[in-house]
């Protein structure tokens, strides 16, 4: 019988004697008694383990609580913590827009702990920017605006920067996915509805909806509105939009490139500019057609406070140009964009503009000018502004001609261009082609003039002979040029920023 007890598998029939059956029953009884004893012991041990685990968890909670109290973040002043929150919410590219999903970052920070949530909620300046667009915040455009009310209330009395995109998504057949009636009421608010508004930016593509307001007065009585930027392909927005032009200090208008749309009523632009008496900054890009130029030629627009002007130079059939109607006695920063106007006409217009305004320019930017074809006229133009200390050229063609014009020639100090130049920037988006390394090096040394260029084979100048005529070049920016920057990067007193052509960086 005993040999059956240790077999895991029995395949043949078993014939038991009465004593064998008694023996097996006794073994079963004894095993059941032992199993019950083991079960009792297990329950006792489980109770002890449960108690031990409870004590362990209590100690872990105590440890976490103590570490929480000891955490350096708990001892950080609220002002510093709030500053960290503010920096962590900045866009990666540093540009605020309706596309930036600010709310996701805010909710992530507030979800860390109660203390952080209270600190964030209790700091009004962290709620002074609100970015909304239909794609990421579609519920808000359908009326679920409770969190927007909370957001605005947490900003307190501080000014709110509101970035709003209400553009429509269109299908392949040009049908709008949603009527603008759900959000156009904001444009129909009373003129006194935005008492703290300081800055507004529009990007208008299409006003072809029946329910779009014919007149937009909501901004007309915003007492603090100073900065306006308008990008549009629909010129009639300016006829509908009523702005307090007389109180604006900054205005930027980028119009459509469609002359047929633009020429519908070009006089509206003249009227707007005539109202902007307190502008400090003006950037205007319009497809100047002959009708507009003729409108400007018969009037005089005086900007008594304007300090910065960015304007294109278009060629027109009548030989009339926008600068001919402007007078800006306090102008300090001028940007001219080359758009086809003859170089001789540009110089004549700028000369007359400077003579009429008598401004003292400190910064000049020329965009997309051809140095080779424009050299003689460029020299004439630059000679008008001996006070300029910052000169920048964008998208340069024929760079060697420009470099030669800027190079100081020993013995001819009276004809030096831009004698007060301290900051020079040459920016090229396309890869600059040509052998300009020697010309660039010679120009830099001629304006740095410390007399240590002999090792490079470049003529040095006597410091004393330049000291009463020139201001030393202090800052040089080069973008998009193939250049051995080591030639000038170690010159004492000269800060150099160099960015290789994109093809090289990649």
Q: Which of 365, 300, 306 is nearest to 338 (CA)?
A: 365
Structure tokens at 183: 């959000």
Kindly list the domain boundaries of the chain, sorted by start residue: 30-70, 77-168, 202-358, 360-506
Q: Give mean pLDDT in consecutive 10-residue pieces for the chain, a chain of 506 residues.
A: 68 79 86 92 92 93 87 83 92 84 90 89 90 73 73 84 65 40 64 81 61 74 89 64 90 65 56 88 73 62 94 61 84 87 82 93 86 70 91 80 81 75 85 72 82 40 48 89 86 90 59
Residue 143 class from Cβ within 10 Å (0-12 exposed, 13-18 middle, 19+ buried)?
exposed
Spacing of C-alpha 308 from chain mean position:
20
CA 140 → CA 128, 180, 194, 274, 499, distances in Å? Answer: 18, 13, 20, 39, 43
In this prediction, residue 241 carries a pLDDT of 80
Spacing of C-alpha 483 from chain mean position:
29
Phi and psi at 71, nearest 5°, equal -60, 135
Q: Give helix then strand counts, H and E, for the chain.
A: 16, 15
183-191's contacts with Cβ under 8 Å and 24+ in sequence apart are: 183/141, 184/211, 184/212, 184/213, 186/218, 187/213, 187/216, 187/218, 188/213, 188/216, 188/218, 189/218, 190/217, 190/218, 191/217, 191/218, 191/219, 191/220, 191/221, 191/222
In this prediction, residue 453 carries a pLDDT of 39
pTM for this entry: 0.68
In whole angstroms, what is the distance from residue 347 CA to residue 375 CA?
A: 11
Structure tokens at 300: 């005089």
In whole angstroms, what is the distance from residue 207 CA to residue 419 CA?
A: 51
In this prediction, residue 335 carries a pLDDT of 93
CA 60 → CA 15, 48, 55, 175, distances in Å? Answer: 62, 18, 9, 61
Sign of CA dihedral 206, 210, 215, 220: negative
228 CB neighbour count, 10 Å cutoff:
21
Q: Which of 306, 310, 259, 249 is nearest to 285 (CA)?
A: 310
């Amino acid at each position: 019988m005993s040999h059956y007890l240790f077999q895991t598998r029995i395949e043949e029939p078993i014939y038991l004697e009465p004593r064998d059956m008694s023996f097996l029953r006794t073994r079963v009884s004894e095993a059941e008694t032992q199993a019950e004893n083991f079960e009792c012991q297990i329950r006792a041990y489980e109770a002890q383990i449960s108690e031990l685990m409870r004590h362990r968890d209590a100690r872990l909670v105590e440890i976490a609580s103590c570490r929480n109290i000891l955490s350096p973040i708990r001892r950080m002043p609220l002002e510093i913590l709030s500053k960290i929150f503010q920096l962590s919410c900045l866009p990666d590219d540093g540009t605020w827009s309706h596309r930036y999903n600010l709310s996701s970052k805010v909710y992530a920070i507030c979800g860390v702990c109660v203390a952080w949530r209270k600190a964030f909620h209790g700091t009004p300046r962290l709620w002074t920017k609100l970015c909304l667009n239909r794609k990421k915040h579609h519920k808000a455009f359908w009326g679920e605006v409770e969190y927007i009310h909370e957001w605005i209330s947490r900003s307190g009395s501080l000014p709110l920067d509101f970035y709003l995109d209400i553009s429509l998504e269109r299908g392949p057949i040009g049908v709008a996915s949603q009527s603008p009636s759900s959000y156009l009421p904001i444009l129909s608010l009373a003129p006194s509805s935005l008492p703290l508004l300081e800055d507004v930016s529009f990007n208008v593509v299409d006003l072809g909806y029946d329910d779009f307001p014919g007149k937009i007065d909501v901004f007309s009585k915003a007492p603090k509105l100073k900065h306006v930027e308008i990008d549009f392909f629909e010129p009639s927005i300016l006829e509908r939009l009523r702005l307090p032009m007389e109180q604006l200090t900054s205005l930027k208008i980028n119009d459509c490139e469609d002359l047929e749309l633009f020429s519908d009523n070009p006089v509206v632009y003249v009227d707007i500019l005539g109202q902007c008496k307190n502008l400090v900054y003006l950037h205007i890009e319009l497809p100047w057609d002959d009708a507009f130029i003729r409108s400007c030629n018969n009037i005089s627009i005086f900007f008594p406070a304007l300090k910065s002007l960015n304007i294109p130079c278009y060629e027109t059939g009548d030989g009339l140009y926008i600068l001919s109607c402007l007078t800006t006695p306090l102008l300090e920063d001028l940007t001219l964009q080359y758009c086809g106007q003859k170089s001789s006409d540009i110089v004549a217009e700028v000369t007359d503009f400077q003579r009429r305004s008598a401004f003292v320019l400190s910064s000049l930017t020329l965009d997309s000018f051809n140095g080779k074809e424009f050299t003689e006229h460029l020299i004439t133009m630059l000679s008008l502004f001996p006070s300029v200390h910052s000169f920048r050229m964008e998208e340069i063609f024929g760079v060697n001609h420009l470099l030669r014009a800027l190079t100081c020639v020993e013995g001819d100090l009276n004809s030096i261009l831009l004698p007060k130049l301290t900051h020079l920037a040459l920016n090229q988006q396309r890869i600059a082609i040509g052998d300009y390394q020697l010309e660039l090096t010679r120009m830099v040394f001629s304006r740095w003039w410390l007399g240590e260029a002999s090792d490079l084979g470049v003529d040095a100048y006597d410091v004393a002979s330049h000291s009463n005529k020139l201001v030393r070049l202090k800052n040089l920016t080069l973008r998009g040029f193939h250049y051995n920057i080591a030639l000038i990067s170690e010159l004492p007193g000269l800060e150099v920023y160099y960015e290789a052509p994109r093809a090289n960086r990649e």
